Structure formats: C-alpha cells, structure tokens
Amino acid sequence: MTATNIDRRSRLRRASPRVLLYTALVLIALTIVVPLVWILLTSFKTDFDAISSPANPFPSPFTLEAYKTLASGQQPIFRWFLNSMAAATLQTMIILITASAGAYALARLDFWGKRVVFGAIVSTLLVPPVIFLIPNYLIVQNLGWLDTILAVTVPGAAGAFGIFFLRQFFLGLPSEIEEAARVDGAGDFRIFLQIVLPLSKPALATLAVLSFLGNWNDFLWPIYVLLSPENLTLQPGLSILQGAYSTHYGIIMAGAVIASVPVLILFTLAQRQIVESVASSGVKG
C-alpha cells in the first residue's frame, strides 16, 4: 500500500463524521423548512388545487384570493393579529422585568432561605400547566379581567423558567466586576441596572424570544378568558376561521402564514444574541 493511498484513506476517515453531521443537519433543516414552504405555497392555491390528488406543490393557477378574503373583513383576523402582538409584547416585557429581578436576587444576594425559595420556584416547573387553569381563571374572574388583554398577559408573566434561566446565566458572570463597583460605592440596585443587565443582553434576548413565542402560540388559555370574537388572539381566532371555512384550505394556510411572519422576524433580529447566549453558556458550563 502506497503512502498516497494511506493518506487518502486517512482523509476519508477524518471526513466521514463531518459528512454524517452535515447530512443529519440537512435532513433536520428539510424537516422544518418543507412544511413551512408547503403552507406558503398552499396559501396561493385555489380550493380545488389545494385538495387535488396527486398533490401539486406549486400553485396552478397562482392566486391571491385567500389573502383578499382575509382582507375583506369577513373575519377580524387583523384585529386578532394586533391583539396577539399586544399580548405577547406586554407579557414579554413583564417577564423580563420580574425574572431578571428575581434571578439577580437568587444569584447574587445573600439572604436567609435563599436555597429553599429557589427550590420552591424550580419545583413549579414539574407541575403541568393545565393544573393552574382553574385557579388562574378564578383569580382573573375575581379581578374583573375577563375578556381583556390583562387576562392573557399577567397570569403567565411570573413563570419559574425565566427566573431559573437568568439565574444560571447570572451565576456565570464574573463577580470581580461587581466587587469593583461596590468598592466605588455602587449599591445592589445600581449594579443590577448598569452592570448585570448590560452584560446579560444575550440571555435577555433569548428569554424574550421564548416568552414571546409562548404567548403568541398559546391556544388553550385565551379560549377560556377571551369571550368576545373581536378580542380573541390569533391562535384561537384561526380555529374559528377553520370552522367557518372548513374546506377553504387556501384561506386557512394564508392565516397560518400571517401568524408565522412576526415569529420569523423576531428570530431573525435576535438570532445573533441567541447564538451568543448558547455559546457563552457552553463555555461557562
């Protein structure tokens, strides 16, 4: 066996894991992208073309009728869209405020019973969310928040995940910076606002995206607390749309496309911060 053959086999052996990895990544990407592309193409189809067999992936003919129907106002889909944007944005802001404050106290401050408090908070992650459905409904009802934006923002704005996630990130920040700030006379509140939060932008962006998606995709809770059709958020509103146009798949898919646009824009804007958060967590862990 010549040296050239040995060198070639060595290169192939080293390249094989990389080829398998790239192949797996391509398959995973196709699994995610193909359904999204299919939804987009179906939204431009006629009703007959959408249910034709065998299925044709490309619209024939290409039509904007589904989007024209949604824009006609037969169903208040754009009102649902604005309701979802307002609810998801407001809840995300509340989560960032409450979670960052709670996480900083549990990560950096010393007080009696801190471990017990943190354990109690983390233990709530093991409880299925559906168990809180009736207690939260009664609280919202007694506060007079039914059929308002507060009903779909406040109850889920103090979850344990945000506190746990940010606490783990805060623990990885260098304590020397805080000690230097205390020597200069800075208090805990100033350190939290001017040092910890600016250093935690990747983690805060990641939590913001996850919180926004959680509220944006919520289907069960808004059905119980939003009573008027015009006050619905987008996800339960699309279920009404599907009931009203049970065979109009183009209209249903057009609604799904509209629902996915803010999510894609948000992820695109926060992608760099999310990658930095994952990378820094990997280095510190």
Q: How do residues 66-85 score in pLDDT, each as one tens digit? A: 888 888 777 788 889 999 99
Q: How do residues 183-235 score in pLDDT, each as one tens digit? A: 888 788 888 888 888 888 888 988 999 999 999 989 889 999 998 888 899 88
6 has pLDDT over 80: no
Claim to verify: residue 49 and residue 87 sit in the same structural domain? no
Claim to verify: residue 133 and residue 164 sit in the same structural domain? yes
Our count of domains for the chain comes to 2
Q: Which two tokens stand for residue 82?
A: 């604005």
Q: What mean pLDDT comes out for the span 39-64?
A: 80
Q: Is 186 helix (H, G, I), strand (E, B) or coil?
A: coil
Q: How do residues 96-122 score in pLDDT, each as one tens digit? A: 999 999 999 998 888 888 889 988 988
% of the chain at pLDDT higher than 90: 20
Claim to verify: residue 109 and residue 172 sit in the same structural domain? yes
| Nearest alpha carbon to residue 46 among 69, 15, 25, 75 | 69
- Which pLDDT value is given to residue 5? 56
- Which pLDDT value is given to residue 124? 87
* Inter-residue contact 84 to 235 (CB < 8 Å): yes
Claim to verify: residue 112 and residue 235 sit in the same structural domain? yes
262 has pLDDT over 50: yes
The whole domain housing 45 covers 3-67
In a domain, 263, yes or no: no
% of the chain at pLDDT higher than 70: 88
Cis check: omega of the bond before 61, within 30 degrees of 0: yes
- Which pLDDT value is given to residue 216? 92
Cβ-based neighbour number of residue 130 at 10 Å: 9
- Which pLDDT value is given to residue 283? 44
* Inter-residue contact 111 to 188 (CB < 8 Å): no
Higher pLDDT, 243 or 210: 210
CA 142/CA 154 separation, integer angstroms: 14
In a domain, 160, yes or no: yes
Residue ending a domain, choose from 45, 67, 89? 67
Claim to verify: residue 182 and residue 108 sit in the same structural domain? yes
Q: Which two tokens stand for residue 217?
A: 């995709």
- Which pLDDT value is given to residue 142? 93
In a domain, 256, yes or no: no
Claim to verify: residue 207 and residue 165 sit in the same structural domain? yes
**Residue matched to tokens 């169903």:** 75
Q: How does 6-26 read in b/e, with b if 16+ C-beta sit within 10 Å?
A: eeeeeeeeeeeeeeeeeeeee
95 has pLDDT over 80: yes
Claim to verify: residue 58 and residue 84 sit in the same structural domain? no
In a domain, 156, yes or no: yes
- Which pLDDT value is given to residue 13? 63
264 has pLDDT over 70: yes
CA 262/CA 173 separation, integer angstroms: 32
- Which pLDDT value is given to residue 137? 92
Residue ending a domain, choose from 38, 67, 96? 67
| Average confidence score pLDDT of the chain | 83
Q: What mean pLDDT comes out for the span 265-269?
A: 82
In a domain, 269, yes or no: no
